[in-house]
Structure 1
Amino acid sequence: MTDALTLRAGAEAQASALPPLLAAAEHLASTVILGDHGRRRAGTGDTFWQYRSAQSTDHARSIDWRRSARSDASFVQDKEWQIAQSVVLWCDRGASMRFASTDKLPEKATVARTLVLACAILLIRGGERVGMTGSDLPPRRGTGQIAQMAALLARDDDADYALPEVRGLIPHSRAVFVSDFLGDIAPVEDALTRAADRGVRGALVQILDPQEEAFPFDGRTVFESMSGTLQHETLKAGDLRSRYLDRLAQRKDRLTQLARTTGWQFSTHHTDAPATQSLLWLYQSLAQPA
């Protein structure tokens, strides 16, 4: 009986996080105007997209003679590409993501989860298949997929830094990794290398609190990880500022180079900034041709 009550209490606690997350993600997605073309591009399909000048490689049967009769040139109809793309998402749920420097700022985890879920909402509205890395939620369409993603995103990881998950990546698909990327860089390098080997392209979004960018500490300071397993005390925190900022800059440079080498894109988002611009950047990054 106790186990059943504990299980029910845990389920209710997890479910209580879903409506706020879904509402925030829906609101964020609604602020992004995708324009007339969205993710449309030429390819196999039945829906007219645009006229273009005929080329020597086009068959005569492809020429739109009615449109061409109004001009001295020959024109071909481009159809909209209607093959749904699979996009797989990974969101860092490690303890380090639960950091917020003040109670006026959201936790990095809240921003990351909202951004990932809002991106999924836009992709599914655009006809794409979306899922999570791992084996729990393979890419699918439909609003039901959004609810399942929200349930997975609501879970926390006890480890200080979560490891990027590459299980479930579909060859030649797209992927999104969202994290603070402050842990060991080796698993990130390995994940992107393995993804690139499968022809997977995507985007990295680094979520940072403003305090993590500025390092505004001086004098006696105790630094402790969010899980409480790591701790460092110093009497001269100001002396660490330049070394910390140098290492942070090196980490960003390494992520930028890693993304460039593997055909991905990289961006940083701060928790005190509106998420709309980062969401639009992320969505447009996924729309880039492979």
Structure 2
Amino acid sequence: MGDEFWQYRAAHAGDEARAIDWRRSARADVQFVREKEWQAAQSVHLWLDDARSMEFTGDPKRQAKADRARLLALSLAVLLIRAGERVGLADGIAPPRSGEVQLLRLSEAFTRPAGEADYGEPQARAMLTGSRAVFLSDFLGDPAGVEGALAQAADKGVTGVLMQVLDPVEEAFPFDGRTIFESMGGTLTHETRKAGDLRDRYRARLEERKERLRHLARTAGWLFTTHHTGEPAQGALLWLYAALRKGG
């Protein structure tokens, strides 16, 4: 592994002009960047779910899922870049780079306003062949989106981690009596007079979702784990860092 040319990829917003192969680009309608093998091997792509469901917290004194995911993503980027890795976003908005300026770019990207959708769907179109990735989400939406992203990753030889970020309330389902459940975006509503009767079924379906995510990750050569916002972030951060370094 070294400085040998490895592959072309379509240029993304944020790529420097000097990185573009103008001769190759002249033969097509898009611009191309020359990638070297070491660049892909030392690249990590992050996808941070910005859907409305991530704004949930079961306790005003506890971080919302989105805030915890941002903390983990940015802290992980700091550790990786200081270790000599190149970090970027899986959607191509910020291609993998090193340095303090890249940390500022990532910080700005992570603080963008929440999206309009209730649930997020991983974006994997810009991941480099042979790189690594981390997807941070509650993964409570349609799992078909996760399946599609992991299929793209597997085709490119990308390995990584799915980290499901959940609030403790979403695990315990501590509701009883008359309860109105509403999605964070307000598009889904369900009212029940006996919320406690739903507890066992809810927990069973959540466990089924975790098992499906675990299976999808295993099939793609990825790892799956769940982190709760009621737990310290440090343990999850160190686990992520160790998992990526081992995979690299």
TM bucket, shorter chain:
0.7 to 0.9
Tell me the alpha carbon deviations over residues 117-150 of structure 1, each in whole angstroms, 9 at most, x when there is no partner.
Answer: 1000000001111001223100001111111111
Equivalent residue for 1:104? 61
What is the CA-CA distance between 1:219 and the residue it aligns to? Answer: 0.7
Distance 2:125 2:115 in 1: 17
Residue 225 of structure 2 corresponds to residue 225 of structure 1: no
Equivalent residue for 1:23? none
Distance 1:87 1:263 in 2: 15
Distance 1:181 1:98 in 2: 13
Gaps of 5+ in 1: 1-42, 45-81
Equivalent residue for 1:260? 218
Equivalent residue for 2:21? none
Distance 2:92 2:228 in 1: 30
Find the residue that maps to 1:207 and give its secondary structure: strand
2:120 and 2:139 in contact (8 A); partners too: no
Cα RMSD for the two superposed structures = 1.6
Distance 1:287 1:260 in 2: 18
Equivalent residue for 1:167? 125
Equivalent residue for 2:5? none
Residue 97 of structure 2 corresponds to residue 140 of structure 1: yes
Tell me the alpha carbon deviations over residues 33-72 of structure 1, each in whole angstroms, 9 at most, x when there is no partner.
Answer: xxxxxxxxxx87xxxxxxxxxxxxxxxxxxxxxxxxxxxx
Residue 91 of structure 2 corresponds to residue 151 of structure 1: no
Q: TM-score, normalised by structure 2?
A: 0.82
Equivalent residue for 1:271? 229
Residue 113 of structure 2 corresponds to residue 122 of structure 1: no
Equivalent residue for 1:71? none
Distance 2:59 2:184 in 1: 14
Distance 2:100 2:74 in 1: 12
Distance 2:184 2:246 in 1: 36
Equivalent residue for 2:42? 85
What is the CA-CA distance between 1:104 and the residue it aligns to? Answer: 1.1
What is the CA-CA distance between 1:218 and the residue it aligns to? Answer: 0.8
Equivalent residue for 1:214? 172
Find the residue that maps to 2:232 and give its secondary structure: coil
Distance 2:200 2:245 in 1: 38
Residue 99 of structure 2 corresponds to residue 131 of structure 1: no
Percent of residue pairs identical: 56
Equivalent residue for 2:137? 179
What is the CA-CA distance between 1:284 and the residue it aligns to? Answer: 0.9
Letter in 2 for 1:272: G
Gaps of 5+ in 2: 3-37
Find the residue that maps to 1:287 and give its secondary structure: helix
Distance 1:279 1:232 in 2: 35
Tell me the alpha carbon deviations over residues 201-240 of structure 1, each in whole angstroms, 9 at most, x when there is no partner.
Answer: 0001000000000000111000001111111101111111
Distance 1:170 1:130 in 2: 11
Letter in 2 for 1:161: Y
The higher radius of gyration belongs to: 1
